[in-house]
Amino acid sequence: MFLLKALLFSVVNGVTTTAEINPRTAADGRHPPFITSFSLPAEHIAWPEGTLLIAGDEPGSAKAAAMTDTNFIGVLNKRVGEKEQSGNVIIHGSVPAEILKCENSGEIVDATATQIKALRGIGIYV
């Protein structure tokens, strides 16, 4: 317990450590998820959990789907910040339909009904 307090309240050169804890995930537990990580493009906006992903330009990479995409590899499980280089992706499991998003001209928008239907074809249940 002492070590935990020391880590949480340590001061180094007058600066305390900060951490962000984000309990939000796209996986909702109705169907056990299979989650893996993919590399992300060097340049991208922040993507929330629930962002639909398609294959990237390199093997093992992914990028946000556009509104017309339906060839998904999965759904981003946790939010990633701008330019973050990797993300956890649900490639099988269940997610709530209302959180599904895609990218449209640099903005995050709700996924379309066609996109939501296409997810079922790859084993992601909404």
Q: In sequence order, what DSSP letters do the residues of the chain get, joined into one string?
A: -HHHHHHHT-EETTEE---------S--SSS--EEEEEE--SS---B-TTBEEEE-SSTTBEEEPBTT---EEEEESS-B-TT--EEEEEEEEE--GGG-EEEETTEEEEPPHHHHHHHHTTTEE-
Q: 41-84 pLDDT, tens per residue?
A: 999 999 999 999 999 999 999 999 999 999 999 999 999 999 99
Q: 78-112 pLDDT, tens per residue?
A: 999 999 999 999 999 999 999 999 999 999 999 99
Which CATH number, 3.20.20.70, 2.40.300.10, 2.60.120.1310, 3.30.420.40, labels domain 24-125? 2.40.300.10
Q: At residue 11, does pLDDT exceed 70?
A: no
Q: Which residue has the higher pLDDT, 115 or 1?
A: 115
